[in-house]
Amino acid sequence: MSDVTNADPLARIGEEADLGETMIELQELTKRFPGQETPAVDRLSLKIPKGEIVVFVGPSGCGKTTSLKMINRIIEPSSGHIIMDGEDVTTIDPNHLRRRIGYVIQQIGLFPHIRIGDNIATVPQLLGWDKERTAKRVDELLEVVGLPPDEYRDRFPKELSGGQRQRVGVARALAADPPVLLMDEPFGAIDPITRTRLQNEFLRLQSELQKTIAFVTHDIDEAVKMGDRIAILQEGSRVAQFATPEEILTNPANDFVADFVGTGATLKRLKLTRVREVQPSEALIGRVDEDRETLRRRFDESEWTAMLLLDADGRPLRWLRGTDLRQTSRPLDQVGNRTRAMVEPQATLSDALEEMLLGAAGVAIVVDSRGAYKGLLDIDDIITSIQTMKDAQAEFYRAAKLADPEAEVPA
């Protein structure tokens, strides 16, 4: 009764970007460390589209961090080229290049001897901004990362928690509004709860800022969450697959990718599908301003076992059963069960599933941003959605088996 639309927004963004502008292009980028046989990064070629987050993910030692650090030439490439916004930056003054690229690292590296405000002001000062403009920008950025300027501007790094320090790290990287950000496991050393919060905040920020971001992580879940595209890297930074998270989870290019993505691919995939992409079903609706008799008749004529009562603005109020409608002693908005498990269209199916399980009713009510009723999502809708993904996956493996009869086909 509902169907999963094939038009995935993430995949669409990817297609558009293919036609769109490339912000960073790596051409045959190679790094050979002295005294090592094999290059740490071997002829890496990759295009990072403007305004996207591209995640470099791979097992430790695959060269992902080395690759990232060659973009701002913290590590100088042995050969190859870096093209940024159409300009070959492989040989320009690295210090000037770096002032155009925000840099966030796992250990944060705030300057311990100066105050938070001065830390954030570092690049504006290098660029010769005047005092007033710099001070204004510092306060603005502290606001953006959720640290009240009056409270935090004059503190020292050691007086902040790990999560707060990483917020400052992000603010410092954004200070001069660089078009490009490089992030090396930025949330890696932070406790899981704070990490999730910082990831969400950062994604919200990115939806406004539209920076071009190269992001390194070893965690496939983080890659799926943060990336518009993911580059899965093998030893020597060889690209095993470069695609949208969607594509990687459903159609891993080879065994290496499939192994790396791991067994939880279907569940991860649920995090990629938004509620709005699934057609919600209709509930039996009654409005609080309707006549009680009308509602009762509507209920009796339907096959439903419960009616969803909405308030005057269309917001879900109560679940009513037959007995609730037949009694007359109490107003309708005080009987039945309070509605729970409400999800907004931009929530993921994973969120919706969680709400359903918590709500124990097996359904989630889809509401818009004002809280008005849009439809119902039940557990069958989620199962259908999973089935669709599985079919796509099975199709992929069947095709793979035709191409290579020796290959193992997972059940």
What's the chain's length in residues?
411
Q: If binding is defined by CB under 8 A, does position 97 make contact with another protein?
A: yes
Question: In this structure, are residues 220 and 204 in contact, taking their beta carbons and an 8 Å threshold?
Answer: no
Q: Which tokens hold the place of 375?
A: 């439809």
Question: In this structure, are residues 181 and 144 in contact, taking their beta carbons and an 8 Å threshold?
Answer: no
The span of 16-24, 50-58, 152-160, 332-340 binding another protein (CB under 8 A) equals: 152-160
Q: If binding is defined by CB under 8 A, does position 370 make contact with another protein?
A: no
Q: Which of 32, 43, 99, 218 binds another protein (CB under 8 A)?
A: 99
**Cα angle value 31/259/77 (rounded, 5°):** 10
Q: If binding is defined by CB under 8 A, does position 84 make contact with another protein?
A: no
Q: If binding is defined by CB under 8 A, does position 110 make contact with another protein?
A: yes
Give the DSSP letter of residue 235. Answer: G
Q: Which is nearer to another protein, 107 or 294 (CB)?
A: 107
Separation between Cα atoms, residue 347 and residue 135, nearest integer Å: 37
Q: Which helix (H) or strand (E) holds 212?
A: strand 212-217
Separation between Cα atoms, residue 285 and residue 288, nearest integer Å: 10
Q: If binding is defined by CB under 8 A, does position 35 make contact with another protein?
A: no
Minimum distance from CB of 34 to another protein (Å)? Answer: 13
Within 125-144, the residues that bind another protein by CB under 8 A are: 126
Residue 270 phi/psi, 5° resolution?
-60, -30
Binding-site size, another protein (CB under 8 A): 29
* Sheet hosting strand 22-31, strand order edge to edge: 41-49, 22-31, 79-84, 87-88
Bin 251: left if φ > 0, else alpha if -120 < ψ < 50, else beta: beta
Q: Which of 32, 50, 81, 98 binds another protein (CB under 8 A)?
A: 98
Minimum distance from CB of 97 to another protein (Å)? Answer: 7
Residues 6+ apart with CB under 8 A from 403: none
Closest CA to 24 of 42, 47, 43, 44: 47
Q: If binding is defined by CB under 8 A, does position 113 make contact with another protein?
A: yes
Q: Which is nearer to another protein, 120 or 283 (CB)?
A: 120
Q: Which helix (H) or strand (E) holds 184?
A: strand 180-184
Q: Which of 158, 330, 338, 370 binds another protein (CB under 8 A)?
A: 158
Q: Which of 79, 107, 305, 327 binds another protein (CB under 8 A)?
A: 107
Q: If binding is defined by CB under 8 A, does position 180 make contact with another protein?
A: no
Q: Which is nearer to another protein, 134 or 244 (CB)?
A: 134
Positive or negative, the Cα torsion across 238, 179, 219, 162? positive
Q: If binding is defined by CB under 8 A, does position 109 make contact with another protein?
A: yes
Q: Which of 20, 21, 33, 114 binds another protein (CB under 8 A)?
A: 114
Q: Which is nearer to another protein, 120 or 261 (CB)?
A: 120
Minimum distance from CB of 259 to another protein (Å)? Answer: 32
Q: Which of 103, 187, 215, 299 binds another protein (CB under 8 A)?
A: 103
Q: Which is nearer to another protein, 58 or 186 (CB)?
A: 186
Q: Which tokens hold the place of 348?
A: 């993921």
Question: In this structure, are residues 228 and 12 in contact, taking their beta carbons and an 8 Å threshold?
Answer: no
Binding site for another protein (CB under 8 A): 72, 74, 94-99, 101, 103, 105, 107-115, 122-123, 126, 156-158, 169, 172, 182
